[in-house]
Each structure stands twice: as C-alpha cells, then as structure tokens.
A and B are shown apart, each in its own frame.
Chain A
Amino acid sequence: MCMAVPSKVVAVDGQMAIVEAFGQTRQTSLLMIDEEVKIGDYLVLGAGGNFAAEKVSEETALAAIEYLSQVLADGLA
C-alpha cells in the first residue's frame, strides 16, 4: 500500500523542514504546502518523501501513527 506515516516537524528552515517519524528524521520540501508550517505540526509526505504533500491535524496524525504502530507490531509492514 502507498501508506504514509504522518511525520512531526522538528525544524523549519525557509522552504525546507526536518521531520521525524518512528525515530527516523529526514528533510522534506514545503514548497507544495500553502499553510504555515511550524515545529510540532504533522505532515504527510508524498512518495519518496522529497515533498510534503499535506498538513494534518494532530488528532488525525496520532490516530494514523497508532494504527501504523499496530501494523508494525503485527509484522504486516
């Protein structure tokens, strides 16, 4: 599946951000995001992770992370 892990923004530098998910950090471009992005926000990244695709609410992000943690725990990932 083209499942994406909502990633938490840990640093913002202009049009780039460092995001974290499941202990892994990576850099992504914010060029496709219209809204303001700040530390603590959650982003869904496009395939490959080069561009952030969407900003999601914390509630939605945490629900998705809980589900994906279960996928990982059940060995389905």
Chain B
Amino acid sequence: MFTEASLHVTLRVDGPSVRTVLVRSTRMVQAARLFAGKQPAEVLHLLPAVFSLCGTAQALTGLAAMEKAAAIAASPAQKSARRVLLLGETVAEHGLTIARDWPLLAGASPALDHAKRLRHALAGLRKALYPDGDWLHLGGGQLRPDSGQIHAIIAQCHATLTQLVGHDLDELVQPIAFQAWLRRESNPLLSLVTSRCWQAVGAGAAFLPMPELGPPDLSPRLQNDRDGVYLARPDCAGRVFETGPLAHWHWHPLLTDLTDRFGTGLLTRLAARLVLLAESLREMAEHAHDLRAEPAAPLPHLDGHGLALTEAARGLLAHRVVLKEGLVGEYQILAPTEWNFHPEGALVRMLTGAPADQDLELRARLLVHAMDPCVACTIAVE
C-alpha cells in the first residue's frame, strides 16, 4: 500500500520546558532517482502530476535544470511567462492558506468562498500564456499571452485577497497600516496570536536565513550524495538554514519592524506570508508587461549536467539533472521542507526549551503552520 508522506514532531517535556524535539519524516526524498532512463519530456509531464502542492514550481525547476544541462537559454519573454506561472502558484498556495487554514487554526469557519474565487481566477493562467498547453517545452513553448486576461486574473486575485483580509493588501504590508489592522481585530488567527501575547513565540531561536543564491556548496553536495543522506538532512558546513517567506523577505520594512518588536517569532512569520502574497502579485503585474508572442523553440541535443534553483511558495527548491544521450541519467530534488523540518532545523530550534504549559501543543501547531510543511504533520507531547 502506498502511504502518503508525512512529518511527525514529538516534544519531550522535562519539568517546565521542552527538553527534546524529534522530527521524523516519511518523505520520499529519493523518489526522483526513478526518473533515470526516462525521456526529459516524460519527466516534465510527470512532475506537476505527482507533486500535489507545488507542481508548477517542481515542473519549472525541472525544466530549468534540463535547459541548463542542454545549454539552452530561454528567451526573456519565456522567463517572464514562467515567472508569472510560478508566482501564480505562490499566490494560490498562501492565499488558500489564509482563507482556509488560518480561520480553522483559530477555531473559526474557513473563508471557502474566497479560497474558491482565488483558485478559480488562477486556474486560467496557464492557458492565458500557453494556449497550446506546451508550457513545459524545453527552450520555451508556443507563447501567445492574452494580456487582458492575465491582468484580469491579477486584478481578481488582488480584489479577493483584499476582501479576505479586509484591507488593501499593498497598504497592509506597510508597518503603520499593519499595526492599525492588528488593533482592530484583523483576522481570527492573528487576533488569537495577539490576544494570547504569542507574537514572539519561537523568537528566541537562532535565525539562519537561506543565502539568496542557495547554499554555496549545494552543487558538489548533491553530486556526491550517493546514499541520499544530504537530500534527507541537508546542511551547509553544519548549519541548517531555513527557507521560505521570512528567510526570503526578512529585509522587508514590515518584517524588519516586526522583528525589532517581536523577533523572528510567530507573528513575524505569519506576516511574512502576507508580504510574500503582496510582493508576488506586484511582481506578476511587472512581468506581465514583458510578455510577447513567440513560437516554440526547436529541440536541441540533450546532454550535460544542470542544477536549477527556484524560490517556490515554501522556499528554495533545487533540481539537479544529468542528461545522457537524450535521456535522464540522474535526477535529484531537494525541497524546502527538508531544511525547515530538519532534525536540527528552524522548527526544532524554536521549540526546544519552549514552556511546557497547557497551550504547548497549540503553540507548536501554530509554529509548524508558520513553517509551512508541504505534507501533513502530526504533533505529540510526551
């Protein structure tokens, strides 16, 4: 029987605090090895089908890795179109979380109507860029952007999210507006966090954001990872970085303001998702201006090594591929969850030493949510 991958976090309490945090993962980090021997196009077809949450990011990162291996340079318009698709997935992921999961975590009813409207708006994005459906063609598919439709999708997302949070999203990520929003019962989850004074939960732990260009030793570590140990528990000279909205946007004015007040704890992490949403929509609109029609690229000879990195909805995603005589020879995927839920990673650092009171499990659940695993995660207190 095929069991869906999951994470299991165990908090071992000793007296007044959490002494040990154990993270067990059943994630299939080596499953991409089985892409070996397949045609590149077949792998690109499989990627969005087998990854439930970030299929677009997985497929586009795979496409970029294969293009690097084959020394293909996609045109600026193709890169913009792919960026729009990637950002659209980020908006969908975080928008759905805020509409559906944030209220549930606070014991309120989910805003399913907003979630559905957002999903409905973004469902037409691929077709508005690549009407022939060949968005994963190596070198670039037949790009025929429907500018009116793309701008309409962005506007619908913006309007839905503004209605969902009850404030203009762009203004909301300004420090003064955000503080005013918090004071007037912004959102069930953020109201819970502020009313319980949990803004700084987890803030005492070391904050190790992923470098902008990824770990400097990523390529050789992947290349030499014959047994999959690095894929399961990545590090960089012993340091386990965190990746995701806060790691990527920690310099944003709202997040530096919140970090000054509450550290890199729960509130700052939740706010980082709002920042990522606002910035993703802004960047989508910018890229939409750079789109133009282009024919599909001819397929060259496919041979070589390629490593591609993508800042996906949950953080840095890496694909490494070796192409040999037109077929995939090796394939590796390193996903953000392996960094964030590493046995010595950010979640463990934040929970170790946490006060072991009656709310420990709920606070742990909120921190797990803030770190945003891409699989289900159970929490046990012993």
Is B52 positioned at the interface, with any CB of A under 8 Å from its CB?
Answer: yes
Residues B46 and A47 in contact, CB atoms below 8 Å apart: no
Residues B45 and A60 in contact, CB atoms below 8 Å apart: yes
Within 8 A of A (CB), among B1-60: 1-5, 27-34, 42, 45-46, 49-54
Q: How far, in whole Å, are A71 and B5 apart by their CA atoms in the complex? A: 13
Residues B5 and A1 in contact, CB atoms below 8 Å apart: yes
Interface 1/0 per residue, B335-355 and A, CB below 8 Å? 101000000000000000000
Q: How far, in whole Å, are A64 and B51 apart by their CA atoms in the complex? A: 10
Residues B2 and A22 in contact, CB atoms below 8 Å apart: yes
- Interface stretch, picked from B80-88, B114-122, B303-311, B357-365, is B114-122
Interface 1/0 per residue, B351-379 and A, CB below 8 Å? 00000000000000000000001111000
> Contacting B335 at CB < 8 Å: which of A2, A71, A76?
A2
Within 8 A of B (CB), among A18-76: 21-24, 31-32, 34, 44-49, 51, 53, 56, 60-61, 63-64, 67-72, 74, 76
> Contacting A47 at CB < 8 Å: which of B34, B49, B52, B116?
B52
Chain A CB within 10 A, most for which of B50, B53, B337? B50
Residues B333 and A1 in contact, CB atoms below 8 Å apart: yes
> In the complex, what residue of chain B is closest to A57 when comparing beta carbons?
B49
Q: A32-B119, A63-B45, A77-B2 are in contact. Are A2 and B337 (CB under 8 A)?
A: yes
Q: How far, in whole Å, are A70 and B54 apart by their CA atoms in the complex? A: 22
Q: A2-B54, A24-B1, A34-B116 are in contact. Are A63 and B28 (CB under 8 A)?
A: no
B153 to chain A, nearest CB (A): 14
Interface 1/0 per residue, B111-129 and A, CB below 8 Å? 0100110011001000000
Q: How far, in whole Å, are A51 and B376 apart by their CA atoms in the complex? A: 12
Chain B residues with CB under 8 Å of A71's CB are 28, 31, 34
> Contacting A77 at CB < 8 Å: which of B3, B333, B337, B374?
B3
Q: How far, in whole Å, are A3 and B27 apart by their CA atoms in the complex? A: 8
Q: How far, in whole Å, are A15 and B303 apart by their CA atoms in the complex? A: 48
Chain A residues with CB under 8 Å of B374's CB are 2, 47
> In the complex, what residue of chain A is closest to B1 when comparing beta carbons?
A22
Q: How far, in whole Å, are A73 and B45 apart by their CA atoms in the complex? A: 21
A4 to chain B, nearest CB (A): 3
Chain B residues with CB under 8 Å of A16's CB are none
Residues A34 and B119 in contact, CB atoms below 8 Å apart: yes
> In the complex, what residue of chain B is closest to A70 when comparing beta carbons?
B34
Is A5 positioned at the interface, with any CB of B under 8 Å from its CB?
Answer: yes
B303 to chain A, nearest CB (A): 24
Within 8 A of A (CB), among B90-112: 96, 100, 112
> Contacting B49 at CB < 8 Å: which of A34, A61, A69, A72?
A61
Chain A residues with CB under 8 Å of B100's CB are 51
Chain A residues with CB under 8 Å of B375's CB are 2, 47
> In the complex, what residue of chain A is closest to B38 when comparing beta carbons?
A67
Residues A4 and B1 in contact, CB atoms below 8 Å apart: no
> In the complex, what residue of chain A is closest to B120 when comparing beta carbons?
A34
Name B residues whose Cβ lies closer than 8 Å to a Cβ of A: 1-5, 27-34, 42, 45-46, 49-54, 96, 100, 112, 115-116, 119-120, 123, 333, 335, 337, 373-376
Extra inter-chain contacts (15) besides given A3-B50, A47-B53, A47-B374, CB under 8 Å: A1-B29, A2-B5, A23-B1, A34-B119, A47-B373, A47-B375, A48-B376, A56-B49, A60-B49, A63-B42, A67-B50, A68-B2, A68-B50, A76-B28, A77-B2
